[in-house]
Structure 1
Amino acid sequence: MSSDEELAKDLGPLAALTIGIGTMVGAGIFVLPGTAVARAGPLAAATFVIGGVIALFTALSASELGTAMPKSGGAYFYVNRALGPLFGSITGWANWIGLAFASSFYMYGFGEYVNTLVGLEGIGLGPVTLSAAQLIGFGGALLFIAINYFGAKETGTLQIIIVMLLLGILTLFTVVGLLDADLDSLRPIAPPGTTAEVLPVTAIVFVSYLGFVQITSVAEEIKDPGRNLPRAVIGSVLIVTVIYALFLLVLLAAVPTELVADNDTAVVDAAELLFGQYSVFGYGLGTVGVGLLLFGGLLATASSANASILSSSRINFAMGREKIVTPKLNEIHPRFGTPYKSIAITGGLILVFLLVGNLELLATAGSVLHLIVYGLLNLALIVMREAEPEGYDPDFEVPLYPIVPIVGAVSSFALIVYIEPFVVVLSALFVLFSALWYLLYARQKVETPGVLADWILDRSEELPDAAVSAATSVQPDKSDYRVMVPLANPAHEKHLITLASAIADERDGTVVAVNIVQVPDQTSLEGAREQRDHEDADRLLEQARADAETYGADVETHVVLSHRAFEEVFDAAKRFSADICVMGWGPDAHGAPGRTETTMDELAHSLPCDFLAFRDRGFDASRILLPTAGGPDSELAAAVARVLKDQYDSAVTLLHVAEDRDRGETFLRSWAAEHDLEDAELRVETGDIQTRITDAAVNKTLLIIGATEQGVLSRLVRGSLVPDVLSEVDCSVLLAEKRHERSLRERVFGTSDRDRLSEETIESDSPMRTDDSRKEAQ
């Protein structure tokens, strides 16, 4: 299956809402009250409210992002799109693994409740002992993995049934509890020492709020996501927060605090006490209450696990679609329409975590990883709002921007501080793994750099160098050959693009067309951006795109505002990771005729990539003349001649001017064979080099010549052409100069031609840089 397949829109608004509620209403009600009350007393209810408020900030951000980009993957997709694939990798892995941890936690709880009914014993497997809860949870996990395998529609229907039953049981318990509630039982509201425990307990119970963002993970499958997604995300947080707070208040007001504190089955024991006060036809209802709450616990843990498996598999699917993991995970089942490979892998992780983890580790690990995701998601919203990328048009907008996403990000990251240090360190290792996974694996495969990187690079002159370097250093590296073309004069655009497209096509690379707009020093770049008439630049780049695509080359376009013109070409070559730059050369090229600044020499003496300077007298590659004396830059010239010969079936003539004709012929034959130009016409002359090149160029359509000395580009700009023959021939001229860098000694004392020749000869056997050398340059 192709990587751009879409998932069917099978989820209605109620199913979407119940995914969030079903994921959250689980451990928060049936497992955590005992721990929360033991540490915070009656303030335990406040910890759930605080957790709900923190979750609400992120829910608002997630709703806006979800309506703007209703794609499978949810938070991962939004962060990847906004902050770039490095943070996308961190978010994807954290969300995926965090949900797998949470699903294992839910199934562990499921096993505990089942075991309360059946009373099984654990088993020992050598040095490892598996509890009955783990074994039962393992079987339950297999069941829900299979259910998800058969499609979102069946899963959504199951969620509706489970959540409705669950809410009915909790409502009945609350009503019965209200009949015996005594507000005096809540006093003192804040016993000594409990106030300091509020935030730590909030961090523990926050695992109960992992469901709402998971609704966005199936956004691609929700009907009318513009309306239904915000309702489901925000509504699920509000509903669950009210349920948590009301339930805990009733629980603490209706039964003794001692019965709840440090009791993992507090709600079951409370049900036995409360329902036991009533009888029907002489039969006490205590057993009925216990049965209802046990059944409710089973439903809660089951629905949480079911919804988490559903969402985590979609995150895995989205990571495969964006090539963070192998796109083979994208394969959709031909019958059920689900990403069955993603579900299978996610299910495998859940089973492993279930067998090796304990209840507290699974819960808190899932919580920390999700808090990282929530913090990054809020930052993603800020980036999308500030950058205003094309196509970002949400149906729902966050109120009180930017306060909401800022508070959401800060509170999410801050809450991590209060979690067990071992779990934080474990989660940090997962984050480190995610970053290394991107840098060592995914960076070679992903294609889009993200909105933040583009925003930074577009403002490279205004932002600190450290920010620009950081954005560049982690950009995707598809290992494609990048040919940059600085464009200024529309009259020469087509010929430059034609030449660049030929080179890019030969290497299966990309043409990067750049229009550098020079801004007066008196005008700020931001002011120029706001006032600039984009029409001319857009027209030039659109024409360049059309021309490049005509020749079958991939193309990307950029407009760069700068206080410099020619100098900016060098920075742009670094910024856009160019392998070779094809630039125009003439009296009005890049706004730099006859310039004499020493910075030009400095720039041209440290070329960030290979350079081709084209003197345009019409592009015709039918008859090429290539003079050579064997220098390293003539290797680049030979490579370009080979490309043009392959693309245009050019007739290539090699020229060597020597003192001894026999030795010259021997050299030229050897050089031609070494550079795969054996079928070229060989011409050996004696005498004055400039005269012989001029004579040989008669009736030729293109002269390609390697730079004979370092810094020739700066000489071109100053108008002192080297050699002078380049201005005397009638045909177009292409001057080739290889990438090189200057050491500190060379900057101070200069570089001799012999030193340069020795250094560059051993630099690379390839006249056009290889992918490895490109990486080294970066």
Structure 2
Amino acid sequence: MKNSNSSEFKSKAPGTELARDMGLMHVTMIGVGAMIGAGIFVLTGMAAGVAGPALILVFLLNGIVTGFTAMSYAELGSCFPEAGGGYLWVKEALPQPNGFLSGWISWFAHAVACSLYSVAFGAFAVDLLSLGGVDFSQLVPSFIKSPPHLFWTKLIAVLVGIVFVYINFRGAKETGQAETFVTMVKIIVIGMFIAFGCYAIFSGNLAEPWQSHFSGFFQKGFMGIIMAMGLTFIAFEGYEIIAQCGEEVVNPKKNIPRSIFLSLIIVVPIYLLVAFVALGAVTPEGGMPTWQYLGTRGELAMIEAAEHFMMGKIGRIIFLIGGLFSTMSALNATIYSSSRVSFAMGRDHNLPGIFGKIHIKKRTPYMAVFISGAFILFMAVVLPIEDIASATDAMFLLLFIFVNMAVINLRKNRPDLDRGFKVPFFPLIPIFATLLNLLLAVFLFFYRPLGVWVCIGYILLGVFIYYIYSRKKEFTAKAAPAIHMERPVFLENKSKYHILVPVANEQTVKQLQRYAVEIAKSRSADITALNVIRVPSQLPPSEGRKYLNESRAILEKAIGSAEERNIPVSSVVKVTHNIPKAIIETCEERKINLMVLGWEGEKPARNRVFGTILDEIIMNTVCDIVLICRPPAEEAKISRILIPVSTIKYAVLSLQMAEILVKDKQIPIVLFHATYRDDIGEIKKYYESELRKLNCGINPDIYEVKISKAS
């Protein structure tokens, strides 16, 4: 008997977890800080140009729509309080390639968001330097054909992107004090914007009644509202940051759902007030509608608005400083998150191993940082800011669709999870959220088609990479480790037919193996006896070693049964967190043709046929399966075999197995069919004729066809 190298099990692997020291208020402020970020500084003007005076309605409806997805985040965050967020949940809940695509999309979403923030930083920096007297028209090389401000905006975007890529390579990050300072600057600046705007509106000093700024409220129509909702949706995605902090939150079961909802309750009114004062307090010259004026100013619209009613140039400078602080904070966070997602995918073998490399001295995923940084800078240079924003929103909307699908799947398949919050009216709300997110993503195509085409191309590239590269690499790397393997004893002729017998206990191993041996003898097959040791997810796989002797005892019985009949047999013990996955992997590794499984016949849980483990194996295995219900403790004499059939061609395997069991024995095999029809005799003749037409080694003479009229 040959054992595999088990040095990895010599010592217990230590568990690691983060200190839970973040209370409700702390984690709520993280979500608020993430939402009141660069999006509100950059996208409000663009959205006004798309939605018109209905900009306020856009933010209100987005608050409602994002609230549905927030419920899914609250449920999953309460029962999976771990770092990882949506990517982790989708990998846990949905079959591949959904897990791969969620990570692929998350990487792109954070990277393209970083491109948006870098371009916005460039635009704010150019405007601030212009106020300081810098004439950019004199600083553009003659061979550059683009407008001077656009050239310098893109150049500064690239430079600031390089700076933050380098910061992330070094491992430097904002301290808690610096992050608090940046958040306070953002809140103070937006608070001043709202206060000065409200004073301008209600003091009566405007050149025209503020109510006139909202006339023709729906003039941009339904499509304008939907497109603007899709464009500004990124401003509401901060609750994913809350979910990613789950491992550090005190009492996450309660505090994660509470913080997600509290952050939305705080942020949505702020967005409504910002939209209200931006539309109501700005009076453009020449009679241009306020919404149109803001739309023409694009990413600088809020800066222009601040100059109108917030102390003139001083207000503009204050808002520019707030925008610069906000975009720098967002830049650092999104470079960090995009590189960590690609690093995790490299470590999980979804992307090439170069993404999973860690710098020896800096201890950072330096290649993931550099590759993500190059991707970010490329997007910043190539795409206009409107298309960058469109691509960003489309990708986050797709990620939220995956999360809503995950909550539906996990509620159905993992009812055992300890949930601190449950989505009400399940599954209507996650389904409704999925449809709304899909609707917003589709309508973004009508706003900026280029950004959406980029997303579609990126997703198709991801599907190609998964099936050509990632699928095979991930399977090879993540196969359940075998801690015991024994090669076949009898190898006179190499078998072309392979049988797998998963055995779980000594009471049924002999009986399962008896059926497998009969089949193997008739088909000149070999047998692999498999025992799977399940280790709880909280423990390292090395814990499975203590059960190896027990597994060997089970397998010795399986080997003995096969050796008595000179059947080539091998045995394998695998240790895993997931029993069905280990069995499925063994089928693929050993190119199994037939699997013999035992079933206790117990009543399964709701929405199950045979039970959680058996259902997953049957649904995800391509080989034939023989399922033996309640294998008898002692060898029982078979006196009769009944095969219920609907269509003969789908019962061929059953017929073959039955003939193997009755070989050289005078045991009748009854082919049974129930019908509502009256012409029983004709039906019987039909089935007898179909039996004789089969060309697969079936002996039609040993079958008794019985047709019964159903009542």
Counterparts of 2:244 and 2:122, CA distance in 1 = 27
Contact 2:83 2:247 in 1 (8 A): yes
Cα pair distance change 1:225/1:385, threshold 3 Å: same
Deviation at 1:349, TM superposition (A): 1.8
Aligned: 1:251 with 2:278: yes
Aligned: 1:441 with 2:481: no
Deviation at 1:418, TM superposition (A): 1.2
Deviation at 1:16, TM superposition (A): 4.6
Cα pair distance change 1:40/1:712, threshold 3 Å: closer
Partner of 1:109: 120
Match of residue 430, structure 1, among 458, 463, 466: 458
Match of residue 297, structure 2, among 263, 275, 290: 263
Partner of 2:36: 25
Partner of 2:225: 198
Deviation at 1:554, TM superposition (A): 1.4
Match of residue 397, structure 2, among 364, 367, 371: 371
Deviation at 1:231, TM superposition (A): 4.3
Q: Which has the larger radius of gyration?
A: 1
Counterparts of 1:306 and 1:11, CA distance in 2 = 23
Match of residue 621, structure 2, among 551, 554, 576: 576
Deviation at 1:368, TM superposition (A): 0.7
Cα pair distance change 1:107/1:22, threshold 3 Å: farther
Partner of 1:631: none
Counterparts of 1:230 and 1:350, CA distance in 2 = 32
Match of residue 54, structure 2, among 36, 43, 53: 43
> How many residues align structurally?
554
Match of residue 295, structure 1, among 316, 321, 335: 321
Cα pair distance change 1:236/1:216, threshold 3 Å: same
Partner of 2:193: 173
Question: Quick one: which amino acid aligns to residue 60 of structure 1?
Answer: M
Question: 1:283-432 alignment to 2 at 5 Å?
Answer: 286-326=312-352, 329-330=355-356, 339-388=365-414, 390=416, 392-420=417-445, 421-432=449-460
Counterparts of 1:300 and 1:549, CA distance in 2 = 66
Deviation at 1:547, TM superposition (A): 3.3
Partner of 1:52: 63
Partner of 1:595: 641
Question: 1:467-616 alignment to 2 at 5 Å?
Answer: 484-485=500-501, 491-493=507-509, 511=530, 547=554, 553-554=573-574, 556=579, 576-578=621-623, 594-595=640-641, 597=643
Counterparts of 1:84 and 1:199, CA distance in 2 = 31
Contact 1:99 1:312 in 2 (8 A): yes
Counterparts of 2:429 and 2:323, CA distance in 1 = 34
Match of residue 142, structure 1, among 162, 166, 173: 162
Deviation at 1:445, TM superposition (A): 3.8
Deviation at 1:373, TM superposition (A): 0.9
Deviation at 1:235, TM superposition (A): 3.3
Deviation larger for 243-252 or 19-28: 19-28
Aligned residue for 1:31, secondary structure, equals helix
Deviation at 1:423, TM superposition (A): 3.2
Superposed CA RMSD in Å reads 4.8
Higher RCO, 1 vs 2 (CA within 8 Å, ≥6 residues apart): 2
Listed as ranges, the gaps of 5+ residues in structure 1 are: 277-285, 451-480, 515-541, 608-710, 723-744, 754-778
Deviation at 1:379, TM superposition (A): 1.5
Counterparts of 2:57 and 2:88, CA distance in 1 = 33
Q: TM-score, normalised by structure 2?
A: 0.66
Q: TM-score, normalised by structure 1?
A: 0.61
Deviation at 1:151, TM superposition (A): 5.0
Cα pair distance change 1:122/1:211, threshold 3 Å: farther
Aligned residue for 2:174, secondary structure, equals helix
Deviation at 1:228, TM superposition (A): 4.6
Question: Quick one: which amino acid aligns to residue 530 of structure 2?
Answer: V
Partner of 2:664: 720
Question: Quick one: which amino acid aligns to residue 576 of structure 1?
Answer: T
Cα deviation, 1:277-307, whole Å, max 9, x if unaligned, reads xxxxxxxxx3321210110111222222222
Contact 2:167 2:173 in 1 (8 A): no
Match of residue 160, structure 1, among 180, 184, 207: 180
Question: Quick one: which amino acid aligns to residue 265 of structure 2?
Answer: L
Cα deviation, 1:225-271, whole Å, max 9, x if unaligned, reads 44553344333333332221111112222222535342232322222
Contact 2:506 2:554 in 1 (8 A): no
Deviation at 1:341, TM superposition (A): 4.1
Contact 2:74 2:256 in 1 (8 A): yes
Counterparts of 1:581 and 1:156, CA distance in 2 = 60
Aligned residue for 2:641, secondary structure, equals coil
Deviation at 1:215, TM superposition (A): 3.5
Counterparts of 2:305 and 2:633, CA distance in 1 = 89
Cα pair distance change 1:386/1:572, threshold 3 Å: closer
Deviation at 1:398, TM superposition (A): 3.1
Counterparts of 2:431 and 2:650, CA distance in 1 = 42
Cα deviation, 1:459-495, whole Å, max 9, x if unaligned, reads xxxxxxxxxxxxxxxxxxxxxx996327799645158
